[in-house]
Structure 1
Amino acid sequence: MTTTENDLGWLDDITMSQLERNPYPVYERLRAEAPLAYVPVLGSYVASTAELCREIATSPDFEAVITPAGGRTFGHPAIIGVNGDVHADLRGMVEPQLQPVEVDRWVDDLVRPIARRYVEAFENDGRAELVAQYAEPVSVRSLGDLLGLTDVSSDTLRDWFARLNRSFTNAAMTADGEFANPEGFLDADRAKEEIKAAVDPLIDRWITEPADTAISHWLHDGMPPGKTRDREYIYPTIYVYLLGAMQEPGHGIASTLVGLFGEPEQFEQVVDDPALIPRAIAEGMRWTSPIWSATARITTTDVHLAGVDLPKGTPVIQSYGSANHDTGLYEAPTRFDLHRPPLPHLAFGAGRHACAGIYYANHVMRIALEELFEAIPNMERDTSAEVEFWGWGFRGPTALPVTWEV
């Protein structure tokens, strides 16, 4: 039976509120009925299966493009939405500090003291809210220090990424192709002014006095002697880092914990054998992908894909969170299962624009969980309230209260 346009009338009723609260039912239906479909509220085609997301990410008939809300939030040239020489330069700018041999040199000394400091702040309290008190602070402090933002408080970094997140995912479009909620970008505009006020003086110093910080390297590495990259050229990628790179490890930590709490035997196995932590993280990233539906590609030629004709210049949003629940690959994908047969997930994307920080992010999450389980092996989720997740572009638990006997 062929799905007709009349059969897909339900797509017109999808709302951003619905997607932010719980995108899974919509995407389950998309995978079954229209794996590649135009979703009016997003003003874009959406790819929802693992096969399509991977094909689009690696096909020469597609190149990167930033979503309209993402472009409004980050500006140009953001590393996630450019191609050709500019993309090559930006990847060449950020990747040297994120190569495994380089990360191995400093990641433990960077992240472990931060994780210990945060866990020590509440380990004798018998209760904590792990998103706000641990997962997000460890994530933002680790990356903030790597970038060179050591004097910016963790609370400020968390505030910046939350405001950029709300802007990036302010994705609703009108039938005329305009933003349905243009006021939703203004708070992030103010956040970017605050970011520049904090970072500009550091850039001024690093231009003449290079330091071993990521942003200083971005200014200087690969440039002719006496030359630096223009700050306005690198700011869009700084914003990408302050949102996506800070969000992903924190929400990956929290989602992995929620998944483990839902499977007490698996939780005990991981606490008893820390060597299982990387496997738990991989399943947590598949189970609730932090970067759920935040990347897009655009056709470079006319393409016929999944029964749909896509003219040259057609953007397609890749919903990696949906792909990671594809029943064509994963049995009972809504269940967190530490012992699931290992299959490659798409939480970090694929192709030339796959996340540059995969190795770094996995180590941040690993070290954070090692320190938490070592300090408080007997924690339990506070079941007086359900854990709520939020987000369509970026997704994670909003809070995770836990208790333990001291």
Structure 2
Amino acid sequence: MLPPEFLFSRAFSEDPYAAYDEMRASGPVHPIDFPPGTTAFLVVDHEHGRAALNDPRLSKDSAHSSVPVNAELFFGGTMLAMDPPDHTRLRGLVAKAFTGRRVERLRPRVQEITDRLLDGVAARGEADLIEEFAVPLPIQVICELLGVPASDRPRFREWTAVLTVPALTAQARERRREAARAFNGYLVEVIAERRAHPEDDLISGLITARDGDAALTEAELLGGIALLLIAGHETTVNLIGNGVFALLRAPDQLRLLRERPELLPSAIEELLRYDGPVERASQRIALEDMEIAGTPIPKGAWVHVSLGAANRDPAVFEDPARLDVTRAPKRHVAFGHGLHFCLGAPLARLEGQIAIGSLLRRFPDLALALLATEYRHHRTGSIVRGLVSLPVRV
């Protein structure tokens, strides 16, 4: 059985794909002690992983766990921890406010923010692209979309940094509870303000969204807004960071993308497949005794699907460890699959295309400032995967 320390090790954080290749060679499903004390399994191939992502026998609600867990630690109160019909109703209401048209209207503003940030990078000649570009861009975009004032945005980075990692110690759990209390308290005030004075923003849209007589409850509003804020920027930070890092380590692909900018949409999909921002899908729990690839999964057991492993499965993607910006990998699962497919995928794609495309056009001599082996990924055991920093020369 894989110990929980497996997910926190330096070797795994720097190259989880080697570990997944080794596991996949001996089978698609492996027992793992995570969360500690539960019966849990890790799925590391594309066929069974993709199927598990949309299997109605696997619940998103941690209340079904055979071992009691704190639901707040596993996205309790948000769509990520709901099953139909609650999930269907809630997703439908959020989708009415978070429309493709609203996202597309952001394109000029995303480009404007991108250009301003790159002006700052150009003035210095070198930068940490995580802190100076990949972090501020999506934070500003999602906060403007929701209507969060600029003065409040620095706090969101602090809160999400705590709320997106597992809390396995008493100290970490208390720190997470404090962040959740502060986050929820802030959102309660914002919602009250928007109820009294609606604006043309997503929070106002969520408050007024209706499906017949149905509307979001106060708790659902809190959970929905919190999820959009966290998922709306934390994952995009890592899409940009991981994507740029991958291109700078594959100069032939970087050159090809510069020569053929029309490849950018397919290149973003390939970067999502190659080293995506979400390494594992959020939890699923068996509602009944079942099997995955012949492995018995008892009722109440946790099932973790590795999106990163599925996207490197050689049974689906030829030469999966090679970055190929012409690949257009339509079957990748970087945004999940099925009922819980990422609602923010259009926004992430828009930001990724503008950010990476603009960076490559602006800086033809963009290069890593350190040896590739000197860069480090976060070792938090989180479902997200990203670099601690990305120093570059421009």
TM-score, normalized by length of structure 2? Answer: 0.88
Question: Deviation at 1:23?
Answer: 2.9
Moved more, 282-291 or 381-390: 381-390
Question: Deviation at 1:135?
Answer: 1.0
Moved more, 197-206 or 15-24: 15-24
Q: Equivalent residue of 2:59, what SS?
A: strand
Per-residue Cα deviation, 1:324-350 (whole angstroms, up to 9, x for no partner): 111222233233222336342010000
Kindly indicate whether the alpha-carbon contact (under 8 Å) linking 1:80 and 1:353 is maintained by their aligned counterparts in 2: yes
Of the three residues 58, 69, 73, the one matched with 1:62 is 58
Q: Equivalent residue of 1:309, what SS?
A: strand
Q: Distance in 1 between matches of 2:4 and 2:342?
A: 32
Question: Deviation at 1:12?
Answer: 4.5
Kindly indicate whether the alpha-carbon contact (under 8 Å) linking 2:187 and 2:222 is maintained by their aligned counterparts in 1: no
Per-residue Cα deviation, 1:20-79 (whole angstroms, up to 9, x for no partner): 454333322321223122202443211111111111122333333359888333653211
Question: Deviation at 1:200?
Answer: 2.6
One-letter amino acid matched to 2:115: R
Hey, what does 2:364 align to over in structure 1? 377
Of the three residues 389, 399, 403, the one matched with 2:393 is 403
Hey, what does 1:5 align to over in structure 2? none
**CA shift in 2, pair 1:339/1:135, >3 Å:** same
One-letter amino acid matched to 1:119: L
Of the three residues 210, 221, 224, the one matched with 2:198 is 210
Q: Distance in 2 between matches of 1:387 and 1:399?
A: 7
Question: Deviation at 1:152?
Answer: 4.1
Kindly indicate whether the alpha-carbon contact (under 8 Å) linking 2:74 and 2:81 is maintained by their aligned counterparts in 1: no
Question: Deviation at 1:222?
Answer: 0.7
One-letter amino acid matched to 2:175: D
Kindly indicate whether the alpha-carbon contact (under 8 Å) linking 1:98 and 1:359 is maintained by their aligned counterparts in 2: no
One-letter amino acid matched to 2:111: R
Taking the TM superposition and a 5 Å limit, the aligned residue runs for 1:69-88 are: 71-73=71-73, 76-88=76-88
Tell me the percent identity: 25
One-letter amino acid matched to 2:50: R
* Uncovered stretches (5+) of structure 1, i.e. residues with no partner: 1-8, 171-179
Kindly indicate whether the alpha-carbon contact (under 8 Å) linking 1:131 and 1:400 is maintained by their aligned counterparts in 2: yes
One-letter amino acid matched to 2:93: M
Question: Deviation at 1:121?
Answer: 1.8
Of the three residues 254, 273, 288, the one matched with 2:260 is 273
Question: Deviation at 1:158?
Answer: 2.2
1:26 pairs with 2:19: yes
Hey, what does 1:96 align to over in structure 2? 96
* Uncovered stretches (5+) of structure 2, i.e. residues with no partner: none
Moved more, 63-72 or 327-336: 63-72
Hey, what does 1:340 align to over in structure 2? 327
Of the three residues 214, 231, 234, the one matched with 1:247 is 234
Query: Aligned Cα RMSD in Å?
Result: 2.6
Q: Equivalent residue of 2:326, what SS?
A: coil
Q: Equivalent residue of 1:232, what SS?
A: helix
Kindly indicate whether the alpha-carbon contact (under 8 Å) linking 1:14 and 1:41 is maintained by their aligned counterparts in 2: no
Kindly indicate whether the alpha-carbon contact (under 8 Å) linking 1:348 and 1:354 is maintained by their aligned counterparts in 2: yes
One-letter amino acid matched to 2:145: L
Of the three residues 42, 48, 60, the one matched with 1:52 is 48
TM-score, normalized by length of structure 1? Answer: 0.85
Taking the TM superposition and a 5 Å limit, the aligned residue runs for 1:112-151 are: 112-151=111-150
One-letter amino acid matched to 1:143: I
Q: Distance in 2 between matches of 1:274 and 1:150?
A: 35
**CA shift in 2, pair 1:152/1:375, >3 Å:** same
**CA shift in 2, pair 1:16/1:74, >3 Å:** closer
Of the three residues 290, 296, 306, the one matched with 2:277 is 290
